[in-house]
Structure 1
Amino acid sequence: MAGRKVGIVGTGAVGATAAYSLVMMGSCEEIVLFDIVEGVAQGKAIDMGQAAHYSPKGTKVTAVKSAAEMKDCDIVVITAGVPRKGEMTRADLLMINAKIMKNVVDDVAKNSPDAIIICVSNPLDVMTYVIHKMTGWERNRIIGMAGALDGARMAYQIYQTLGYGLTQTGDLVIGDHGQNMIPLPSKVQVGSVNASELLTQEQMEQIIERTKNGGAEIVKHLGTSGYYGPGRAVAHMVEAILDNSRIVVSSSVLLQGEYGYSDVCVGVPVVLGRNGVEEIIQIDLDEETQAKFKISVESIQDNINILIENKFFE
């Protein structure tokens, strides 16, 4: 990619941390920030621009006052959306965030028509699906950030158990980005050694449970969800696309027959490179994992159906 220009829509904790991570790594030439709250993107752009003095490359960080001003980006990261509050039902939250997504995506599609979109907004798999429907773009260009974070959380739990190999530990989590996620520690390696040779079945089960509750554990301590992990996971994906690294990372993508499902976005291992999703990898799932994957897909489909019932796509 020649331009290496990245737009980030939504500069709350996750969006800003992703941008800061990219600045510190010197991963791109230009980062453009936008937030609906006046002044937030501007203030953070100045702050990060000053931090760039100490990064490997002088990354240009700017802010725009509307998503429509974010032009000609190679990658656009979307973190916009509201969290569930008080009396809000799941359907309420879905409709609110889907409408926010629709407005943002309209601007992105018009002004960065060749971009790859990374969706971080929740509910992740459903919002990724919404972007597909709104743009009609090729499926390789729309990717939901899920497994990069959940996988890092699983690798962390394996490291907490073993006490070694943190950066050498595989990270494979499939399914939805939520309570039905499926961490697969038995499928990963620590260095060149299969994790199943290092961990007991009981330890595996504890790792799976702790991975699923990885976000909730942070909320318990902070009173808010984590942002260093998610922000770095976003940056990891952006770097892979910009550098054409062709790394394997679980992401929420639109299936068209893979794993036996179609017209639904769900987390599976993919190859990330210059074109976004270069390939969807189909791994063998045992019967128990297939059953869990079915539950995961159905939970996403239920949410998509709520949008359909509310005539969102019409």
Structure 2
Amino acid sequence: MGKVTIIGATGNVGRYTALAVSYIPYVSELLLFGRPGREEVLHGLAYDLHDSFAARGNQADVKFSCIPKDLEGSDIVIVTSGVPRKEGQDRIDLAHENARMISEVAAMVGWYAPNAILFIVSNPVDVMTAVALKYSGMKPNKVIGLGTHLDSMRLKWNLAKYFDVHVSEVHTRIIGEHGESMVPLWSATTVGGISIRNLPEFEDFPKDKIMYNVMNAGSAIISRIGATVYGPGDAIATIVRTILGNEKRILTVSAFISSEIHNIGDVCIGIPARLDKNGATPLAITISETEVEGFRESVEKVRSVTQEVIEQLDESCHGR
């Protein structure tokens, strides 16, 4: 049984994440955390969740706080706070806006909950994961980001629809940036355990169209309802369940890699990792030549932005 804290719990993603996480049987305490001045909203949200729990017979305890010391004892701290992406805005454009906030939150978590797993959702998630790793002072396996897990699930759904099979029959991954330079691993994609290249439907497979749908899914949702909520919330809950349950599942999250994938690394980016109670362990994998090239470009893009953002943060800290 574990304590899960959600920082940014009053936002759209934070609220639904709280509900989704509450269905996990390993969660005994849920802490809704927000900035000072949000106490009444947090109190109302806690009340609402208590009613939901009563209806479901859930015994988990819901608390709320704006006091950093209350982070103590957290097993997982999920960070959903930050400036949300606007319609037509690239995730990278958000980097400088959200970096200062993430650096402060990470330092707070590193001080009050150093044994927790710090789980970053704020965009651009790969860059923010790197910022959190640096400023929390925590070990690399203890700091992860949502990465391309949601993108991989979006691809999975599109493939299930195309091949007309149950979604559980599709196994696929997207690695790299959670953004425009993401890389689908067609070489590791199967339907019913069979490589898609060995299926007759693959002859007319609309690869580019499907990837367009996946890459633009977030923007399509934001343009219609203002924010992505349910997809991210349930993707987050899946990762939390995997960690608290010590399930050792392989999910595609943002984590620090050095040389696991064809000696490409030194960056936080979406990669397959084994998740358990100790955090994330990146897997060493071999992928196709085209995929290596795409991954290398994605890494270079994320590394460049990460270095720029961290240099700016360091300058602002020294200038205080």
TM-score by length of 1: 0.90
RMSD: 2.3
Does the Cα contact within 8 Å between 1:23 and 1:55 map onto a contact in 2?
Answer: no
Whole-Å Cα distance in 1 between the matches of residues 224 and 160 of structure 2? 21
Identify if the C-alpha distance between structure 1 residues 92 and 209 changes in structure 2 by more than 3 Å, giving closer, same or farther. Answer: closer
How do 1:101-112 and structure 2 match up within 5 A?
101-112=102-113
Paired amino acid for 2:299: V
Q: Report if aligned partners of 1:170, 1:189 keep a CA contact under 8 Å in 2.
A: yes
Please say if residues 174 and 182 of structure 1, whose CA atoms lie closer than 8 Å, have aligned partners that are also in contact. Answer: yes
SS of match in other structure, 2:171: coil
Does 2:237 align with 1:235? yes
Alpha-carbon contact 2:175-2:183 (below 8 Å) kept: yes
Structure 2 matches for 1:197-236, cutoff 5 A?
197-198=198-199, 199-200=201-202, 202-222=205-225, 224-236=226-238
Matching of residues 114-125 of structure 1 within 5 Å: 114-125=115-126
Structure 2 residue identity aligned to 1:51: S
Q: Distance in 1 between matches of 2:230 and 2:241?
A: 16
Q: How does 1:1-314 map to 2 (within 5 A)?
A: 3-11=1-9, 12-36=11-35, 38=38, 39-55=40-56, 57-83=58-84, 93-198=94-199, 199-200=201-202, 202-222=205-225, 224-259=226-261, 260-277=263-280, 279-312=281-314
Report the number of matched residues: 309
Q: Which structure 2 segments of 5+ residues have no match?
A: none
Deviation of 1:255 (Å): 1.2
Counterpart CA distance in 2 for 1:106 and 1:74 is 16
CA distance in 1, matches of 2:284, 2:227: 31
The alpha-carbon deviation at position 90 of structure 1 amounts to: 8.2
Report SS of the residue matched to 1:41: helix
Q: Structure 2 counterpart of 1:164, which letter?
A: V
CA contact (8 A) 1:26 1:56 kept: no
For residue 163 of structure 1, what is the amino acid of its counterpart? D
Deviation at residue 264 of structure 1 after TM alignment = 0.9
Of 90-99 and 133-142, more deviation after overlay is shown by 90-99
1:245/1:272 contact within 8 Å kept: yes
Shift of 1:23: 1.3
Q: Secondary structure at the match of 1:29?
A: strand
Give distance in 2, aligned partners of 1:140 and 1:147.
17
Deviation at 1:147, TM superposition (A): 2.4
- After superposing the two structures, state which structure 1 stretch, 149-158 or 16-25, moved more: 16-25
Give distance in 1, aligned partners of 2:85 and 2:297. 23
- Is the CA contact (8 Å cut-off) linking 2:110 and 2:138 kept in structure 1? no
Quote the offset at 1:248 in angstroms.
0.6
Q: Deviations over 1:1-29 (max 9, x none)?
A: xx500000012121221210121343400
Q: Distance in 2 between matches of 1:246 and 1:8?
A: 23
- The Cα shift of 1:91 comes to 8.2
Compared CA separation, residues 90 and 48, structure 1 to 2 (3 A): closer
TM normalised by structure 2 equals: 0.89
Q: Which amino acid aligns with 1:261?
A: I
| Contact preservation (8 Å) 1:22, 1:28 | yes
Which amino acid letter does the alignment assign opposite residue 196 of structure 1? R
Deviations 1:146-176 (A, max 9, x none): 2221111111111221232113322311001
SS at match of 2:58: coil
Once the two structures are TM-superposed, the CA of residue 85 in structure 1 deviates from its matched residue by: 6.2
Rounded to whole Å, the distance in 1 between the matches of 2:20 and 2:4 is: 12
Structure 1 residue runs without a partner (length 5+): none
